[in-house]
Structure 1
Amino acid sequence: MRALLVVNPAATTTSARTRDVLIHALASEMKLEAVTTEYRGHARDLARRAAESGEMDLVVALGGDGTVNEVVNGLLHNGPDPGLLPRLAVVPGGSTNVFARALGLPNDAVEATGAILDALATRSERTIGLGLAAGTPGSDDEAVPARWFTFNAGFGFDAGVVGRVEQHRERGKRSTHALYVRQVIRQFLEEPHRRHGLITLERPGAEPVEDLVLSIICNTAPYTYLGNRPLYSSPTASFDSALDVLGLSRMSTSAAARYGTQLLTSTPARGPQGRHALSLHDLTDFTLHSKAPLPFQMDGDHLGVRTSVTFTGVRRALRVIV
């Protein structure tokens, strides 16, 4: 088997020594080419070249969710070929690793590598669906390129939190769960539209849903983790279906406390619910519009502001080694 290993040297939970051990372990079982990323977007470029060359049977991503997202977008640059979907393996090296954990992989890089080698030996793999987000035709964001996401996207409040965290990381702060919690509080205190939202959700065959403050799009459950605690915004979301949406139309202090508590105590059977909560399951196509530019994130990567985003749930897009 020929494989490309894409290594993010800035992965927060793996040392250079650990990465060397993992590379040797993988190289013992396959013909491995290991490449270290050097700039933002490099993982995408490497995966795209691997996919277009047809010379690699597998691409392995060693890093966090951002690295995985780049690799997936490189593998699927020309879209999924139903006859031969690309194959991906993930070794978690970030601070949260939602995608790897949602697949059932251990959160420890060494243990996950062992699980991947076992899966390769038994030819165990899974075909999963992904989300695709693009600029909406006729909107100011029409020219924004389409981009795949593996586990979630957010438009509005939660994307603002992600943007705040990235600003702190650019100043040298570590991406910790405490940092996220602080930025959630600050985003809430400074959110100007928390009582009357700007977002409208439109989908075929249904009336528009207006005045949403928050919109979280999930391709799997859980939505994210707080330490080792999984948080389920859309418990029914699955890699085997299309996309789920959680929308909130009110973020007053009392509503935020109620829905925040529900999220912290959520389970695979129950997520946030209430008069101001919208929960939609298995959506293939829908669009989110805003009356003003709002923050947008995908797989924990802040992508600036948007006024309109069109989403597509693609049920069979990628093969993963699990």
Structure 2
Amino acid sequence: MRALLVVNPRATTTSERARDVLVRALRSAVDLTVSYTERRGHATRLARDAAESGIDLVVTLGGDGTVNEAVNGLLTAPTALDGLSATPADRLPALAVVPGGSTNVFARALGMPRDWADGTSVILDGLRDGRHRVIGLGRADDRYFCFTAGLGWDAATIRRVEQSRLRGRTSTPALYMRATFGQFFTGLDRKDPPLTLERPDETPDTGLATVIVQNTAPWTYVGDRPVHLNPDASFDLGLDVTALRRLTIAAGARTVTQLAWRSGDPRGKQVLRLHDIAEFTVVASRPQPFQLDGDYLGDRQKVHFVSVPSALRVIC
């Protein structure tokens, strides 16, 4: 079996020595090539080239951003688009994820251990036993996502965190919580919620302050604790949506408290929840922050979401 290991050298939870151990372990099981990412978007090119060259397995060492890039490389390779088989998963390399970031939502949602060494053992066992799982993905316009997407409050929070990290701050649960509260109290326009959610043959849902899309559960983690918005979201179903309507101070504070202290699952008349949706569009009256898999991708006024079933084989 031929495999490519895509390494983000800035992965926060591994050292150079640990990476050497990982490489030796994988080489005991596969014919391995190692490539290091050099810039944002590089993992996409590496994974796409791997798929085009007939590689059997792509392994990532990094955080959720590295995984997202690799997945987009695989799903946009000509092999994925040739239409010769029923699903992309049938004609693409498998994916294995070694957790190396600060949160690793995707790997943990798959049931992988948080520790990179334990995760590597799971992957080696899966390769030895021929074990894999076929999962669905989400697509937002022309970009795929593994576990979440959002417009509004959550994306603006991620933008705040990324700005803090550029100033040298370390990514921690406390940093995310401060950004979440700060964005709510100082960065939201509560008088004129800008978002509308449109579904085929359904009445549009208007007056939404933020829209969060899930392809699995949980939505995220705060340290060891999972945070649930739509607990029934699944890699095996369509997309789930949690949208917050007009965010008064009282309603918003209650929602933030639910997210922070009760592991999520917000409820109430200001909360719109949709389960197992195949397709929808979010339209904004003015540009809104937009995120995919925890990366801020700029501001958008319209995003079309589609569930992509049986998109990828994952070793887990």
- Give the TM-score band, short-chain normalised: over 0.9
Q: Answer yes or no: is 1:214 the counterpart of 2:213.
A: no
Bigger mean CA deviation after superposition, 124-133 or 77-86: 77-86
Q: Answer yes or no: is 1:37 the counterpart of 2:37.
A: yes
- CA distances 1:7-58 after superposition (whole Å, capped 9, x unpaired): 001001111111111111111111100111111111111001001122x100
Amino acid at match of 2:110: L
Contact 1:233 1:266 in 2 (8 A): no
Other-structure match for 1:123:
130
Other-structure match for 2:289:
295
Distance 1:264 1:284 in 2: 29
How far the C-alpha of 1:85 sits from its partner, in A, is: 3.6
> Which residue of the other structure, out of 277, 284, 287, is the alignment partner of 2:278?
284
Other-structure match for 2:249:
253
**Where do 1:77-156 residues align within 5 Å?**
77-78=76-77, 79=80, 82=87, 83-134=90-141, 146-156=142-152
**Where do 1:1-322 residues align within 5 Å?**
1-54=1-54, 56-78=55-77, 79=80, 82=87, 83-134=90-141, 146-266=142-262, 271-322=265-316
Counterpart secondary structure, 2:73:
helix
How far the C-alpha of 1:188 sits from its partner, in A, is: 1.0
Contact 1:61 1:90 in 2 (8 A): yes
Contact 2:74 2:92 in 1 (8 A): no
Distance 1:123 1:261 in 2: 44
Amino acid at match of 2:102: S
How far the C-alpha of 1:185 sits from its partner, in A, is: 1.5
Distance 1:66 1:254 in 2: 34
Amino acid at match of 2:180: V
Contact 2:147 2:214 in 1 (8 A): yes
- CA distances 1:199-254 after superposition (whole Å, capped 9, x unpaired): 00000121000010011000000000000010001111100001000000022221
Distance 1:85 1:4 in 2: 13
Give TM-score scaled by structure 1 length: 0.93
Bigger mean CA deviation after superposition, 170-179 or 186-195: 186-195
Counterpart secondary structure, 1:45:
helix
Distance 1:87 1:304 in 2: 30
Contact 1:155 1:215 in 2 (8 A): yes
Contact 2:181 2:256 in 1 (8 A): no
Counterpart secondary structure, 2:242:
strand
Query: 1:195/1:227 Cα in 2 relative to 1: closer, same or farther (>3 Å)?
Result: farther
Contact 1:232 1:266 in 2 (8 A): no
Distance 1:291 1:22 in 2: 48
Contact 1:219 1:237 in 2 (8 A): yes
Distance 2:202 2:249 in 1: 31
Other-structure match for 1:139:
none
Bigger mean CA deviation after superposition, 237-246 or 195-204: 195-204
Other-structure match for 1:143:
none
Amino acid at match of 1:186: G
Unpaired segments of 5 or more residues in structure 2?
A: none
Bigger mean CA deviation after superposition, 170-179 or 158-167: 170-179
Number of aligned pairs?
A: 308
Distance 1:194 1:12 in 2: 36
Following superposition, which runs of at least 4 residues in structure 1 exceed 6 angstroms of deviation?
none
How far the C-alpha of 1:315 sits from its partner, in A, is: 1.3
Q: CA RMSD in A?
A: 1.3
